[in-house]
Amino acid sequence: MKKFSLSKVVMYSLVTIYSALCLFPMLLVLMISVTDEDALLRNGYSFFPEKFSLYAYKLIFTGGSQVMQSYAISILVTIVGTVLAVLVTSMAGYTLANKNVKNRNLLALYFFITMIFSAGIVPWYLMNRSLGLTNNILALIIPSLLFSPFNLFLVRNFMNGVPDSLRESATIDGANDITIAFRIYLPLCMPVLATIALFYGLDYWNNWWNAIMLIDNKELYPLQFMLLQLQSEISMLNEMTMLAGTSGMTLPAESVKMATAIVTIGPIIFLYPYLQKYFVKGLVIGSVKG
């Protein structure tokens, strides 16, 4: 039998308490989403709903084809955009980490400048229009495809830790840069690639800005933007009802907000545990034998 020391008991207890504290807010959001709106207005938020109601979810999934279509659009954009963004970022990081590339530090400075200065919304919008990135699926992918400089330097710094002898040995064997990158560097850099994949995936999944600026076709609305519109319409109708002084059924503004959160975080909850196993350092250790 395993013996538990006092330090392990304390450590496990602290981890359990911290995990519970992280779980409680999500549980509260779930409980609010299934609570009747009138009960929420009377009693506020509670872990134990006074009156159970799924009206918020029914309201979200009314005309379910639109919701499912928006779900499909968001999933497609997230998968394709994340894969392409990770590929572009990893190739740029490999280039900056390759000591055989001339002026690589100057290129790194060029990318660093973009972290400090931004051209603004108007040039961004005009460039997208000139490239035809309006009212099509590419408008949700391409504008966010340009890699984040932070992710770029994260990949470059990780690749700098890969022994140069690996590249030199592969070069002597006749391998080119593409082979070296895909056969050696990328497999060894899975932890950092999984990390930036999670970052890019979250950005694409939560992105509603591109839809506001570049999409007018309702059939191309991503999930986040469609639910944002639904929340705005519910809030507007409730305000109009209050101003008119009419009584009637209260639309579930608060419960819809929480139901929206539950609906939108679902795929991310399933994605994170899969990527978490790659968040382990030290894959390079032992890759080069002396």
* Predicted pLDDT of residue 44: 75
Q: For residues 39 and 52, is the Cβ–Cβ distance under 8 A?
A: no
Distance CA 37, CA 32 (A): 9
Q: Using only C-alpha atoms, what is the Rg of the chain?
A: 25
Nearest alpha carbon to residue 225 among 201, 246, 206: 206
Domain boundaries, the chain: 61-276
pTM of the model: 0.75
* Predicted pLDDT of residue 216: 85
- pLDDT digit of tens for each residue in the chain (290 aa)? 455 677 888 888 888 888 888 888 888 888 888 888 777 777 777 778 778 888 778 777 775 557 778 888 888 999 999 999 999 999 988 888 888 888 888 888 888 887 787 777 888 888 888 888 888 899 899 888 776 788 888 888 888 888 888 888 888 888 888 888 888 888 888 888 888 888 888 889 888 888 888 888 888 888 888 777 776 766 666 666 656 555 555 556 677 777 777 877 777 777 666 666 665 443 333 334 43
Q: Please give the full DSSP string across the chain, using - where no structure is assigned.
A: -PPPPHHHHHHHHHHHHHHHHHHHHHHHHHHHHTB-HHHHHHH-S-SS-SSB--HHHHHHTTTHHHHHHHHHHHHHHHHHHHHHHHHHHHHHHHHHH-TTSTTHHHHHHHHHHHHH----HHHHHHHHHHTT-SSSGGGGTGGGTSPPHHHHHHHHHHHHTS-HHHHHHHHHTT--HHHHIIIIIHHHTHHHHHHHHHHHHHHHHH--HHHHHH---GGG--HHHHHHHHHHHHHHHHHHHHHHT---PPP-HHHHHHHHHHHHHHHHHHHHHHHHTT----SSTTSS--
Q: For residues 50 and 36, is the Cβ–Cβ distance under 8 A?
A: yes
Cβ neighbours around 189 below 10 Å, total: 25
* Predicted pLDDT of residue 40: 75
Angle at 282 between CA 278 and CA 285, to 5 degrees: 135
Which residues have CB under 8 Å from 116's CB, separation 6+?
none
* Predicted pLDDT of residue 236: 65
* Predicted pLDDT of residue 287: 39
Distances 277 to 15, 81, 156, 280 between C-alpha atoms, Å = 19, 22, 21, 7
Residue count of the chain, please give it. Answer: 290
* Predicted pLDDT of residue 63: 56
Task: Tell me the CATH number for domain 61-276.
Answer: 1.10.3720.10
